Amino acid sequence: MDLGIHGRVALVGGASAGIGRAIAEALIAEGVRVVATSRDADRTRAAADEIGAIGAVAWDTADVDRAASVVDEAERIAGPVDIAILNTGGPPAGDDPLAFDDARWEDAHRHLVRSPMALLRRVLPGMRERGWGRIVNVASTSVREPLPHLVLSNAERSAALAALKTLSHRVAGDGVTINTLLTGQIATRRIAASYGTLERAHAAARDRIPAGRLGRPDEMAAAAAFLCSERAAYITGAALPVDGGLLHGV
């Protein structure tokens, strides 16, 4: 299937590893000119070279004020951004929802709500003026079914989802779509850390997930690439689970 995005420019967050890197690779395979971004400059440059991205920009999403300059740098490298993948690491887990102090809450809010919105304030005007744009937010199934040890992620990712849904209505008539992927149990370093090892995560998935296995980063990437395509032009404001049937709600 020709996704119709050859030659488009994408800024991909969290692209040095895991799901973000897989999305960057999937877009590059479609002929997209990808600028990779993540927190560590060396790892971002190395990943960009390995996957064939045309550039790399370091950005710790705790630094909300840097969002606009990240887009400026990406556009100097590749031209106007047509596709933005909002993807960053999740906040820490904890058994006690009341144990996180104000600094932890503010940090999660910066990473998951304020920085994505600051980036969109910079990229959306150009997308709307050109009559074409794709925003894909990488979130979690926890916005539908909150997990007891992830209160920060539950709350802040839900806030971001609501904000993006609101914004999607405003820009839909300008040819810009905004959608969210709800990540299930995907075989990444983060899930390995949650279970102690990736092997333990795989073992738990056999019993817990209807599909009987963990998802692969490339399966998340395939969904993201489709939502970035010309063929997905009538899909906006959606939250798509990629979870092997993990969610129980309708």
pLDDT tens across 91-129, in order?
Answer: 999 999 999 999 999 999 999 999 999 999 999 999 999
Superfamily, domain 9-240:
NAD(P)-binding Rossmann-like Domain (3.40.50.720)
User: So what's the pLDDT on residue 190?
Assistant: 86
Cβ count within 10 A of residue 98: 7
pLDDT in tens, 119-163: 999 999 999 999 999 999 999 999 999 999 999 999 999 999 999
Give the count of alpha carbons within 13 A of 15, CB side only: 35
Tokens of 170: 């405003």
**Best CA proximity match to 238, nearest among 182, 169, 159, 179:** 179
CB-based contact 228:27 (threshold 8 Å): yes
pLDDT for residue 1 is more than 90: no
pLDDT for 28-56, tens place per residue? 999 999 999 999 999 999 999 999 999 99
Q: In a 10 Å sphere around its CB, with 0-12 CB exposed, 13-18 middle and 19+ buried, how is residue 196 labelled?
A: exposed
> Coil, helix or strand for 215?
strand
Tokens of residue 149, six digits: 């040890």
User: What is the rounded distance in angstroms from the CA atom of residue 192 to the CA atom of residue 196?
Assistant: 6
Q: Which residues pair with 11 in a beta bridge?
A: 35, 84
